Amino acid sequence: MIVSQIFNIANLFVLPFWALMILLPNWKVTRQIMSSYLPFVLLAGAYLYLFINSVTPENAQDFSNLELANIARLFADEKVAATGWVHYLVMDLFVGRWIYLEGQKTEVWTIHSLALCFFAGPLGLLSHILTDWISKKFFPKFQQNEAAS
- 143: confidence class by pLDDT, cuts 50, 70, 90: low
Residue ranges per domain, the chain?
3-148
Phi, then psi, of 58 in degrees rounded to 5: -70, -35
pLDDT per residue as tens digits for the range 108-131: 999 999 999 999 999 999 999 999
Distances (CA, A) of 119 to 16, 124, 128: 15, 8, 14
The answer to whether the predicted template modeling score (pTM) of the entire model surpasses 0.85 is yes
